[in-house]
Chain A
Amino acid sequence: MKVYLDNNRLTPVDPQVYNVMKPFLEDIYGDLNGMHYAGAKTRKAYNEAVEKCYASLNASTKDTLIFSSSSTHSNRNLFMSIYIEFILTGRKNNIIVSEREPQDILDMARFFEEQGCRVNYLPANSDGVIDVERLTDYITPRTALVSVSMVDSESGAINPIEEIVEICRSYEVPFHTDATQALGRIPVDFQRLDADYLSFSSQTLHAPSGLGGLFVKGSVELNSLIKNESLNIAGIVALGKALEIASDALGFEVEDMRDLRDELEEGLRELDGVEILVPWALRSPNTLLIACEGVESESMLYELNQAGIACYSATINPFGDYKQRFITDILGLDSKFRYTTVGFALNKNTTQDEIKYTLKAIKDALEYLRSFSHVDVNKIEE
């Protein structure tokens, strides 16, 4: 049996999405501005897709959506435009990012530091979510941007974005959030959220990877750096359909996914020496990150891979090369747990059989690996 539980990084393409984009891979399709039947066909599908994107995030008609190749690309464009507009001209001198941002944003923050801009890293608290209190310490009128992702890609912790936006509003500081891990898992309402920028990516939405977008609030003046490039029509059509499915799924399918995740969580909670990271209430419905005492992450992944289970670890090459702090250190666990994290991210197609099989495989792997781990098995059981 093959079980795929690495859906925070990449999700399989939904057949419905594939069917929608198929005509744009197989048949003739024209340029958006073409004055012929092929152009008309493209225009129709493109407009529909854009409508779906706006509708599923409940963006106002005044907001702008800029397509790019991924959330990474969108983030990079945004940060570069902020740099040119505010930092380079000397109008602002500071940006604030959370320490649990995706790797590309941390890289950009590093670039800002190299250019002599002050960068504050918002720490996560012992629940794994970003500490809102600390934002008021860092924020000043000369802050050019605050960036906090909506959901942590490793631990699934849901950050208190609404409170952060409120603080940013009171200081009149632009706010950006990366919603890649949030779409299709928790409700995202761009108008109610009132963020200035929101980036997202197709690979977690059961659409083919390689497409992303950036929503910009209508009142924000657009820099010439942020604008549409030549459009990937097939990808945009797929993204529109995928977003529509994702927002429809928020009712029943996500609840089913949450139930399955909880079943896995309950099963693992009974095992000895297994810690569940991040409290249940603060976690996105598809993610479960555990730390198993005395069993190294990579060997655990290896054993599970033998059994046909794909999962991830928050220690080795998590979502990039390195993180500033280990997730277990942030959560206040003992340092012996640093290299023992294993994560499971479900998608809406995960079945109960797969979860039962996974649970059994995890038990077997733990027993086997602990049989020759230097950590005393009897002590764990105590």
Chain B
Amino acid sequence: MSKEKILANEYWENYPFKIEMLAKKPKNNGRLTQEDAKKLDGELHIHDYGSMDSGMVLRWYWIIDNYSRIVACRYEIFGSPSLRAVADMSALLCRNKTLQEALKINYKSLEYFLRDHPSNPALPDSKQYEILFVLDSINATVLAIEGKEEPSSPIVCECANISQAQVERAIRDFELKSIEDITNYTRAGAFCKSCISPGYGMADRSLYLVDLLSQIRKAMKEEKKLSGDSLVDKPFNQMSLEEKRVAINATIDEHIRAMLVMDGGDMEILEVKNNGEHTDIYIRYLGACSGCASASTGTLFAIEGVLKQKLDPNIRVLPL
């Protein structure tokens, strides 16, 4: 037991303003018809994800034009208010993206867009699974439209209908350490608890969450050892050029890339140079960012600002 467990759980009263607004007045809910599709000169796709047995259903209405771009996006939902808020935000983000771009929406960027303030998480731990549910539904919809099938994976938790692959991905992506975290992020083990470890419930299983967790944690540890790509623990100005490059890449992945990708752009690092006491970073913009007017002003200052704040004040970013 810890203090966190003694404190009372918070529900709607402390959700961020953004979530509250989206839950109260969702803007993209409703349905699209064939007539709408005709007007927009596209094709209507309807896809259901989830089931009423497990308490969450999301039905996507996507109108897709000839360039496989989602020109209109609406949803119908059976789920909690916070799920509604997450679905509404992701509907907004999906619009005017191609299917491949929609696949690129990840947890970090979606969660970032739901935050009021960059440093406050959007949803409490016990609701994280809703963000993953919406992302999974987008994935499944894109796969269904492209006519592909999801790779099959054994179901770990029947109550919440969660597969082994989903649990594995959550453990890897969020570096989960306990069964409770798994329940928060996937909802596996939230109900009858028979999938957590032997002893709960009557049925014998071949796969328990406890075993799965320890297996994957072990595998992750070994992978980390092998890759050697981990960050070294010393001040930035004492790092070698190669170490600096790794540190800069990690910072960009964590704080910057998500913002660029959401607008259809990206960036890459060309070269890192020591220039006296300064460190010069040469970057190239990709996608929509190349040629964007703010690429040499606002965006550039934002990137430089983040790197200066997180790593070293003597960093200069030079776009090519």
**Contacts A305-B12, A338-B52, A338-B55: A299 and B79 contacting too (C-beta < 8 A)?**
yes
B192, A374: Cβ atoms closer than 8 Å: no
Q: How far is the CA of A161 from the CA of B157 in the complex (A)?
A: 36
B97 at the binding interface (Cβ < 8 Å):
no
Count residues of B near A (Cβ-Cβ below 8 Å). 30
A residues in contact with B242, CB < 8 Å: none
A336, B30: Cβ atoms closer than 8 Å: no
For B80, give its contact among A114, A294, A298, A336 (CB under 8 Å): A298
B23, A302: Cβ atoms closer than 8 Å: yes
B residues in contact with A317, CB < 8 Å: 9
Count residues of A near B (Cβ-Cβ below 8 Å). 22
A 284-299 binary contact with B (CB < 8 Å = 1; else 0): 0000000000111011
A37 at the binding interface (Cβ < 8 Å):
no
Residue in B closest to A315 when the chains form the complex, CB atoms: B55
A residues in contact with B57, CB < 8 Å: 374
Q: How far is the CA of A305 from the CA of B80 in the complex (A)?
A: 13
A322 at the binding interface (Cβ < 8 Å):
yes
B residues in contact with A374, CB < 8 Å: 48, 57-59, 76-78
A339 at the binding interface (Cβ < 8 Å):
yes
B residues in contact with A280, CB < 8 Å: none
Closest CB in chain B relative to A142 CB, distance in Å: 22
B81, A298: Cβ atoms closer than 8 Å: yes
B192, A372: Cβ atoms closer than 8 Å: no
A378 at the binding interface (Cβ < 8 Å):
no
A residues in contact with B78, CB < 8 Å: 294-296, 339, 373-375
Other than the known A305-B12, A372-B29, A375-B78, what 16 A-B pairs have Cβ atoms closer than 8 Å?
Answer: A296-B55, A298-B81, A302-B12, A302-B23, A302-B80, A302-B81, A306-B24, A315-B55, A317-B9, A322-B193, A335-B53, A339-B52, A339-B78, A372-B76, A373-B76, A373-B77
21 example contacts (A-B, Cβ-Cβ < 8 A) are as follows A295-B78, A298-B81, A299-B79, A302-B80, A315-B55, A336-B52, A336-B53, A338-B52, A338-B53, A339-B52, A339-B55, A339-B78, A372-B26, A372-B30, A372-B31, A372-B75, A374-B58, A374-B59, A374-B76, A374-B77, A374-B78
Top 4 nearest A-B pairs by Cβ distance? A339-B55, A298-B80, A372-B29, A336-B52
Binding site for A on B (CB under 8 A): 9, 12, 23-24, 26, 29-31, 48, 52-59, 75-81, 84, 190-193, 199
Binding site for B on A (CB under 8 A): 114, 294-296, 298-299, 302, 305-306, 315, 317, 322, 324, 335-336, 338-339, 371-375
